[in-house]
Chains A and B, each alone.
Chain A
Amino acid sequence: MEAAAEPGNLAGVRHIILVLSGKGGVGKSTISTELALALRHAGKKVGILDVDLCGPSIPRMLRVQGKAVHQCDSGWVPVFVDQEQSISLMSVGFLLEKPDEAVVWRGPKKNALIKQFVSDVAWGQLDYLVVDTPPGTSDEHMAVVDALRPYSPLGALVVTTPQAVSVGDVRRELTFCKKVGLRVIGVVENMSGFVCPHCEGRRRGAGQTRWSPLPGLCAPGP
């Protein structure tokens, strides 16, 4: 059941990018944050939608934890992380009474909040909306893909680390993207090697397993 593509609070958003990974802890939130900062550096106006309801990391990463969300005529006002208002952020982190409060919700309640985040936040005019997701292929992912479908997202950035255990989950995430009709912009291999600060000896990342390129998707770069 798809929402009608009527102008809503995402009407002024030019491009929507989802950041996904089947695997936890590979750096989705870190990369979402760095991507937003890089886009700002390139002169773009960016919004970040954090739909990780159980583990919302982005407010701390942008040093706006503890801020409150306000209402305006067109809905919730996202939190601006800078004076110039070039990066705005919405996260469940802003709705908690205490920072250590656990969001212990089952799927249907999570789905309802995610729909609200998409339809009731007054994002205004944005060049990019980066959507950070929790690990997995479940309620949050289905809810956000369904809610964003009328706005034709640009696609998904899928994050992994080099180890096979991570790549295994990411292959499943790619299957998810194919099933729900979400274009994959590309894959990012994070934590790809470590330079010891003492001796500058370079090591490959934890796991050190070379994985074969994903067919049709990951041709070696320049």
Chain B
Amino acid sequence: MEEVPHDCPGVSSAQAGRGASCQGCPNQGLCASGAAAAPDPAIEEIKEKMKTVKHKILVLSGKGGVGKSTFSAHLAHGLAEDENTQVALLDIDICGPSIPKIMGLEGEQVHQSGSGWSPVFLEDNLGVMSVGFLLSSPDDAVIWRGPKKNGMIKQFLRDVDWGEVDYLIVDTPPGTSDEHLSAVQYLAAAHIDGAVIITTPQEVSLQDVRKEINFCHKVKLPIIGVVENMSGFTCPKCQKESQIFLPTTGGAEVMCRDLKVPLLGKVPLDPRIGKSCDKGESFFAEAPDSPATLAYRSIIQRIQESCSLRQPKGENLVGS
């Protein structure tokens, strides 16, 4: 499984190709010549590919388990309800690909065609890609180091034949590491509309999310806004509200005010959401009147408004 040495100094480091651990690596010559530190030609190839994709949204969080994949899936469902809107959902969580299960597409396979990899279509206007579709068994672990994960992400962006797309939603793993750097790097020339950052109300989550916001600033990724998920729980028995994840430091509202980023909305914790995800069904269909559904719909509308404001001039525009 390993293609790079354990102690690889990194292809753009000053030690690239020269370190003791580089001996025997198949890329040693490339790194030592400095060619590996040159701009990746894939960036231009991806820019070309992305010309048929109108809006690109990254769904991020420093914190795990806050609902990124759940949100990405329902953003896709919500946007695709308009059959004239072409939606693409790309799952770059290589180690923990949840999207196939949440979209009810577990076990589906990806096909190759002359124009590249075909995404798996849930609806005519909703295509999905994930490393989950490339595994032979759902229990297969993807035990890859950074460079191999980066290679997969490059392939997903360059080699998947998305066709004409209005919205490309990129679901990411938690953190600020290889996957995030690669996504931003490879999409650098292709104009990302921005990031939607997911959090829960607790400070343990917010402290990671502040880092994610700083990451966005560092890599010059615009922030569309923050979504506070699992924000309050209504007991179905007594209808009273409790806070399961207490906002001891004021929750996302205070954080957004302090860091001057928009708060797109708060989604309450509805146990039916988790159930829908496990069954691979849209929560909107399961519970159309839930306060969580209403919150999601309002947030999706705000995201659409933000994307239409950022519409680049002079590019080949698709659809609505």
CB pair B143 A137 closer than 8 Å: yes
Quick one: CB contact mask for B84-108 with A, threshold 8 Å, 1 for yes? 0000000000111010011000000
Query: Digit string of B204-237 for contact with A (CB within 8 Å is 1, else 0)?
Result: 1001101111110011000000000000010111
Identify A108's interface contact among B143, B146, B176, CB under 8 A. B146
Residues in A whose Cβ lies below 8 Å from that of B65:
23-26, 135
Main secondary structure of the interface of B (DSSP, over half): loop
What 0/1 pattern do residues 11 to 24 of A give for CB contact below 8 A with B? 00000000000111
B66 lies within 8 A of chain A by Cβ: yes
Residues of B within 8 A of A163 (CB): 274, 277-278
A111 and B143 contacting across the interface, CB-CB below 8 Å: no
Q: Let me know if A107 and B177 touch, CB within 8 A.
A: yes
List residues 3-22 of chain B with CB under 8 A from any CB of chain A: 6-10, 13
In the complex, A60 has a CB within 8 A of chain B: yes
From residue A67, how far is it (CB to closest CB) to chain B in Å? 15
Q: Is A72 an interface residue (CB 8 A)?
A: no
A residues within 8 A CB of B236? 203
Closest B-chain residue to A143, C-beta based? B6
Q: Contact check, A168 vs B235: say whether CB atoms are below 8 A apart.
A: no
Is B235 a contact partner of A136 (Cβ separation < 8 A)? no
Q: Select which of B63, B207, B215 is within 8 A of A24 by beta carbon.
A: B63
**CA–CA, A109 and B178, complex, Å:** 11
* B-binding segment of A38-46, A79-87, A98-106, A149-157: A98-106
CA distance A169 to B235 in the complex (A): 28
Closest to A136 in B: B95
Given known contacts A165-B101, A198-B240, A138 and B211 CB-to-CB distance under 8 angstroms: no
Cβ of A142 under 8 Å from chain B = yes
How many A residues face the partner with a CB closer than 8 A? 61
Give the CA-CA distance A195 to B230 in the complex, in Å. Answer: 16
Is B129 an interface position by the 8 A CB rule?
no
A171 to B10, CA, bound (A): 31
Q: With A101-B214, A102-B211 in contact, do A175 and B141 touch (Cβ < 8 Å)?
A: yes
- Whether the pair B238, A138 counts as a contact (CB closer than 8 A) is no
CB of A55 within 8 A of CB of B63, answer: yes
Q: How far is the CB of A146 from the nearest CB of chain B, in Å?
A: 7
Report yes or no: A135 in contact with B173, Cβ–Cβ below 8 A: yes
Mark contacts of B270-283 with chain A using CB atoms, 8 A cut-off: 1 yes-contact digit, 0 otherwise.
Answer: 01011101100000
Selected contact of A199 from candidates B101, B215, B240, B244, CB within 8 Å: B240
Query: Per-residue 0/1 for A190-205: is the Cβ within 8 Å of any B Cβ (1 yes, 0 no)?
Result: 0000101111010101
Could you tell me the distance in whole angstroms from the C-beta of A145 to the nearest C-beta in chain B?
A: 10
Are the C-beta atoms of A171 and B204 separated by less than 8 Å? no
- Closest A residue to B6 by beta carbon equals A1
Contact B10 A108 (CB under 8 A): yes
| Contacting residue for B204 out of A57, A105, A143, CB 8 A | A57
Give the contact-size bracket for chain B.
35 or more
Contact partner, A169, options B96, B213, B269, Cβ 8 Å: B96
Contact across chains for A108 and B204 when beta carbons are under 8 A apart = no
Beta-carbon contact of A137 and B141 below 8 Å:
yes
B64, CB-defined interface residue at 8 Å: yes
Report yes or no: B277 in contact with A176, Cβ–Cβ below 8 A. Answer: no
Known: A22-B95, A23-B65, A102-B212. Contact between A55 and B101, CB under 8 A? no
User: Cβ of B143: which chain A residues have Cβ within 8 Å of it?
Assistant: 137-138, 141-142, 176, 179-180
Chain A, range 44-74, C-beta contacts under 8 Å to B: 54-55, 57, 60-61
Residue A173 at the chain B interface, CB threshold 8 Å: yes
Report yes or no: B277 in contact with A100, Cβ–Cβ below 8 A.
no
Flag if A207 contacts B274 (CB, 8 Å): yes
Quote the shortest CB–CB distance from B94 to chain A (angstroms).
8
Contact: A100 with B269, CB < 8 Å? no
Name the distance in Å between B14's Cβ and chain A's nearest Cβ.
Answer: 13
Q: Which residue of A lies closest to B179 (CB)?
A: A138
Contacts of A168 in B (CB 8 A): 98, 101, 138
8 Å CB interface, B138-160 against A: 138-147, 149
Query: Is A203's CB under 8 angstroms from B271's CB?
Result: yes
Cβ-defined partner of B207 (8 Å) among A60, A105, A134: A60
Closest-by-CB residue of A relative to B64 is A24
Residue numbers of B with Cβ under 8 A of A are 6-10, 13, 62-66, 69, 94-96, 98, 101-102, 138-147, 149, 173-178, 180-181, 200, 203-204, 207-208, 210-215, 218-219, 233, 235-238, 240, 242, 244, 269, 271, 273-275, 277-278
Instruction: Offer 22 A-B interface pairs, CB within 8 angstroms, sorted by A.
Output: A23-B64, A23-B65, A24-B174, A26-B65, A54-B62, A108-B10, A108-B146, A111-B7, A111-B145, A135-B173, A136-B95, A139-B145, A139-B178, A142-B143, A165-B278, A175-B141, A179-B141, A179-B143, A199-B237, A201-B235, A201-B237, A205-B271
The 4 closest A-B pairs by CB, nearest first: A25-B65, A24-B64, A107-B146, A207-B274
